[in-house]
Amino acid sequence: MKRTTDFLIIGSGIAGLSYALKVAERGAVTVVTKRSISETATNLAQGGIASVISQDDSFANHVKDTMVAGVHLSNSEIVKMVVESGPDAIKDLVDWGVQFTRNEDDSFDLHREGGHSHRRILHAKDLTGQEIERALVEAALAHPNITIHEHHIAIDLITAHKATGKVAGPDRCLGAYILDINDNDIITIGARFTVLATGGAGKVYLYTCNPDVATGDGVAMAYRAGATVSNMEFMQFHPTTLYHPHAKSFLISEAVRGEGAVLQRKDGTPFMEQYHQLKDLAPRDIVARAIDNEMKVHGDDCVFLDITHKGADFIHNHFPHISETCRTYGIDITTEPIPVVPAAHYLCGGVRIDGWGETDLPNLFAIGEVSCSGLHGANRLASNSLLEGVVYAERGARRCLERYSDCPQDFPAIPPWDSGNATDSDEEVVVAHNWDEIRRSMWNYVGIVRSNKRLVRALRRIKMIQEEITDYYWDFLITSDLIELRNITTVAELIVRCALERKESRGLHFNIDYPNVDDAHWKRDTVLHRPF
Ligand code: SIN
């Protein structure tokens, strides 16, 4: 089946839906999302969205905090632009119906999180992402120009070169091949503009607080299509996810530390002052490495986060979702410390974009976690990600609307997806085994603390799995499991290659073979160009 649209958006979190709402007046918008519409990382975000609101704060403070957290690898022009766009982004969200928690005088209640010098985190209790997603979904569903296809997963981007089989002249993105998961049908969608808003890739690691959809699809597809990818070594590990066999790395928001919670060993000794002068509010890379070290030195399975001193009323009022979820696992956080461990949380690298969200493959945009905009550098400052999603949605939309008339729908004949002689697989175990092996290898060899030897070992395994996947891919009919496996394997390869390239330790990338920051040689991005 073949369809055309003006704007094809892959992903339905804050970035995809904000962009959809910004362009919908102008043309037909098609959103494809691989599960139900709200099954996104946005929906799970607890902490909030950072913006300078308070009179005590300033744009300069927010810029400085972002640069320091990113260990001065962020692009200062981009940081300034995003920070200064914050108040307008908040206004857009409020106009779309988002209800942030307010004080009695109707001002926004502002939380504080690690690395922030001031209170500037707007939130909706501790379910900020759910509130944002609710409002955006309602607004998008109500718009007559926006069509949403749930349970549709993108397989690959379509480029002019691939469609025509000719590599002469500049390439551009023409749309994507999409698998309708329920009908098992592959649809070809041609679009003036294609927007990757696919989120992150936490599922590349064995332990992650990301939703199951976070398989790096956008990064993998963009790379295969010829777009440049950057800074993939910077995977952020959130320091505090619930340690419980059934909790699936449930996030304990950094706002809990922001409101005074203290990390302790199992005997109750606080330890963060030994690692950083900001103690429990040090940047995330430092807190995650400190916890990793504490667990290794003391042979413990977890550390503990204690907020009991704030009292039950305060805790229930500020963190209703966290306290209730912990209670279902038998932990009363008003009377006992919470067992926590780090888990993969946020990919700071991704598809390289310009200040308007466009990749170096013309007509392909990437917005939000899938992208590498220059905002996060070597480590993302907490709650800057939802902000980046809304700001780049607006800028990407503005750029597409300016170019709309110059970008006709004159697609060259796009060939339909060719399944060749593929048949139904009778060995699903191969896919399941490879999923597990990639995630385990990444956790063990490419985690919080790395070494050259472990990185090389991981790359060897990834290459072997890639060979198996390639054989499997062409022999058997495509399933969403296989598409995601192929994508996490590509993303794993890109993370390891960037990690091997960076011969220093900076922010989220810590390699014991090069334990120091090397500004003279490495105050620059790692860059991976098209594979052909
Ligand atoms: C959190 O609530 O700790 C997550 C916020 C973020 O990652 O920005």
Domains of the chain: 2-233+348-406 (3.50.50.60), 240-341 (3.90.700.10), 428-528 (1.20.58.100)
Is the CB of 280 within 6 Å of ligand 1? no
Interval between CA 376 and ligand 1 midpoint (Å): 14
pLDDT above 80 (res 427): no
pLDDT in tens, 40-82: 999 999 999 999 999 999 999 999 999 999 999 999 999 999 9
Nearest residue (by CA) to ligand 1, atom 8, is: 383
Residue reference for tokens 């993302």: 380
Nearest residue (by CA) to ligand 1, atom 7, is: 382
- Amino acid in the structure at residue 434: N
Is the CB of 511 within 6 Å of ligand 1? no
Which residue stretches of 14-166 are H helix? Answer: 14-23, 41-44, 59-69, 76-95, 128-142, 160-164
Is the CB of 249 within 6 Å of ligand 1? no
The pLDDT of residue 532 is 61
pLDDT above 80 (res 409): no
- Amino acid in the structure at residue 307: I
CA proximity to 220, closest of 243, 240, 196, 237: 196
How far apart (Å, rounded) are the C-alpha atoms in residues 29 and 18?
A: 12
How far apart (Å, rounded) are the C-alpha atoms in residues 489 and 462?
A: 7
CA proximity to 528, closest of 479, 496, 494: 494
Give pairs for 23-26: CB < 8 Å, separation 24+.
23/397, 23/400, 23/401, 24/143, 24/145, 24/146, 25/145, 26/401, 26/404
Is the CB of 383 within 6 Å of ligand 1? yes
pTM above the 0.75 mark? yes
pLDDT in tens, 483-493: 999 999 999 99
Beta sheet of 235-242, edge-to-edge order: 235-242, 338-347, 303-306, 262-264
Least confident of 165-174, 285-294, 434-443, 521-530: 165-174
Work out the pLDDT band at 531, boundaries 50, 70, 90: low
Average pLDDT, the chain: 95
Is the CB of 500 within 6 Å of ligand 1? no
**Inter-axis angle of helices 480-501 and 428-445, to 10 degrees?**
20
Is the CB of 89 within 6 Å of ligand 1? no
CA proximity to 204, closest of 43, 49, 326, 346: 346
Work out the pLDDT band at 442, boundaries 50, 70, 90: very high
* Residue positions counted in the chain: 532
Interval between CA 481 and ligand 1 midpoint (Å): 28
Is the CB of 198 within 6 Å of ligand 1? no
Number of H helices, E strands in the chain: 16, 18
**Contact call for residues 31 and 197 (beta carbons, < 8 A):** no
- The set of catalytic residues is 284
What is the number of the ligand 1 atom nearest to the C-alpha of 236?
7
Mutation choice for ligand 1 from 14, 46, 237, 240, CB with most ligand atoms inside 8 A: 46
Average pLDDT over residues 436-455: 96
State how far the alpha carbon of 356 is from the alpha carbons of 14, 23, 221, 393, in Å: 17, 14, 20, 9
Average pLDDT over residues 373-393: 98
Is the CB of 47 within 6 Å of ligand 1? yes
The pLDDT of residue 356 is 98
What is the number of the ligand 1 atom nearest to the C-alpha of 252?
3
Interval between CA 48 and ligand 1 midpoint (Å): 7
The pLDDT of residue 233 is 98
What percentage of the chain carries pLDDT values higher than 70? 99
Q: Distance of alpha carbon 345 from its chain centroid, rounded?
A: 8
Interval between CA 181 and ligand 1 midpoint (Å): 31
